[in-house]
Amino acid sequence: MSQFWSDIVHQLDPYVPGEQPQDHRYIKLNTNENPYPPSPKVKSAIQNYPFESLRRYPDPESSALRRALASYLELEPDQVFIGNGSDEVLAHSFQTFFEGRGPILFPDISYSFYPVYCSLYQIDSQPIALDAELCIDLADYRTANGGIIIPNPNAPTGIALGLETIRNLLENTTSVVIIDEAYVDFGAESAVSLVADYPNLLVIQTFSKSRSLAGLRLGYALGQAALIEGLNRVKNSFNSYPIDRLASTAAIACLKDEAYFHQCREQIMLTRDWLKIALTKLGFKVYPSSANFLFVRHASSSAAELYSELKRAGILVRYFKSPRIDNCLRISIGSDEECHALVDSLKLILNNA
């Protein structure tokens, strides 16, 4: 608290990310990072980067990376916007498309940064309840609104919507619809193919999860040129150089290693299948996941206690003390070794319960 803060700052309830302990004591299954290192091509691109160029500012338009992404996704460069992590892209999108309109709609159980952007930009919101099985029913979104944002797959549940369901939503609204595809590469269908058909669709993706580059901070939005131009106006009123030279060099190299990308995501999906079976045998209800995490609820043990016991055993998972999900845990898919360690710890904890 300070007399020097503006009114809005007093009212903010900032986002709290999952713990990032600075020592390496923990098996980290709490922030949906990729257990595998970035592509070796990324390593050599960074190692071979001409060091002396760092004295210069980067390209404010991130033109080379935009061209690389456009060609990878079969879009035009003016349909691509790049930001410092998809969190920054989301923040700019809320300000560009949602500020000053009616209430925006998003699931009541969803990415907890959305309400934070709403309070930062003073945007009204109307959370829409997930059903009893924690699924989104897009029929519930056919109500007057100032915009819609849906994570697909949803976080923290991991449950995905099909592409036709999203097309159907777009057919029935003129509001801007943002599909946050942070986890789409782990088994869901991307809405990028719909960009050409819907001028109100913005798809947001990230290099943080399926491409193992959370530490570089790179996210991007895909949409028709008029939407992207709006984002550029906001970005250029905020920070001309959000993407540094090393990050864009690394990202371009990353896009060139398709084989490694598929190898890692397929391994993560295999581990997810194994972990789902192992957790089910231990008495967990495991929600269907198309993401690199599982959302689980134990039949008899409380999530808060399991979270604490796992932490004591050196394993971090995510526990949200929020209505309806305060007895659930979100567990990121780690390496096979990490997931075996998790299951072994859970067996001990549950046997002693």
- 158 vs 230 by CB, closer to ligand PLP: 158
- 96 vs 206 by CB, closer to ligand PLP: 206
Q: Is 219 in the site for ligand PLP (CB under 6 A)?
A: yes
Q: Is 190 in the site for ligand PLP (CB under 6 A)?
A: no
Q: Is 182 in the site for ligand PLP (CB under 6 A)?
A: yes
Q: CB under 6 A: which stretch of 7-15, 57-65, 79-87, 169-177 binds ligand PLP?
A: 79-87
Q: Is 85 in the site for ligand PLP (CB under 6 A)?
A: yes
Q: Is 58 in the site for ligand PLP (CB under 6 A)?
A: no
Q: CB under 6 A: which stretch of 83-91, 186-194, 249-257, 276-284 binds ligand PLP?
A: 83-91
Q: Measure the CA angle with vertex 66, ends 61 and 70; round to 5°.
A: 150
Length of the chain: 353
Interface with ligand PLP in residues 15-44 (CB under 6 A): 32
- 190 vs 345 by CB, closer to ligand PLP: 190
Q: Is 214 in the site for ligand PLP (CB under 6 A)?
A: yes
* Contact letters for ligand PLP, residues 112-151 (x by CB under 6 A): ---------------------------------------x
C-alpha dihedral (57, 62, 67, 69), degrees to nearest 10? 120
Q: Measure the CA angle with vertex 342, ends 324 and 296; round to 5°.
A: 20
Residues whose CB falls within 8 Å of the CB of residue 277, separated by 6 or more in sequence, listed in order: none
Among 94, 97, 111, 117, binds ligand PLP (CB under 6 A): 111
Q: CB under 6 A: which stretch of 84-92, 158-166, 246-254, 280-288 binds ligand PLP?
A: 84-92
Main-chain dihedrals φ then ψ at residue 104, nearest 5 degrees: -90, 155
Which ranges constitute the DSSP H helices of the chain?
7-11, 40-47, 63-73, 85-93, 113-121, 163-171, 225-235, 245-255, 258-281, 303-312, 336-352
* Contact letters for ligand PLP, residues 192-211 (x by CB under 6 A): --------------x-x---
- 222 vs 349 by CB, closer to ligand PLP: 222
Q: Write the Ramachandran bin of 210: left for phi over 0, alpha for psi from -120 to 50, otherwise beta.
A: alpha
- 180 vs 309 by CB, closer to ligand PLP: 180
Residues whose CB falls within 8 Å of the CB of residue 189, separated by 6 or more in sequence, listed in order: 160, 162, 163
| CA dihedral for 266, 267, 268, 271, sign (positive or negative) | positive
- 64 vs 214 by CB, closer to ligand PLP: 214
Which ranges constitute the DSSP H helices of 212-302?
225-235, 245-255, 258-281
- 130 vs 349 by CB, closer to ligand PLP: 130
Q: How many residues bind ligand PLP (CB under 6 A)?
A: 13
Distance CA 208, CA 221 (A): 14
Distance CA 105, CA 145 (A): 7
| Smallest separation, CB 87 to ligand PLP (Å) | 4
Tell the residue number behind the tokens 């079969």, with chain if given: 74
Q: CB under 6 A: which stretch of 38-46, 56-64, 80-88, 235-243 binds ligand PLP?
A: 80-88
Q: What's the one-letter identity of residue 293?
A: F
Q: Measure the CA angle with vertex 178, ends 116 and 233; round to 5°.
A: 80
Q: Is 86 in the site for ligand PLP (CB under 6 A)?
A: yes
Tell how strand 328-332 and strand 104-107 pair up. unpaired
Question: Is 70 within 8 Å of 80 (Cβ atoms)?
Answer: yes
Binding interface with ligand PLP (CB under 6 A): 32, 85-87, 111, 151, 155, 180, 182, 206, 208, 214, 219
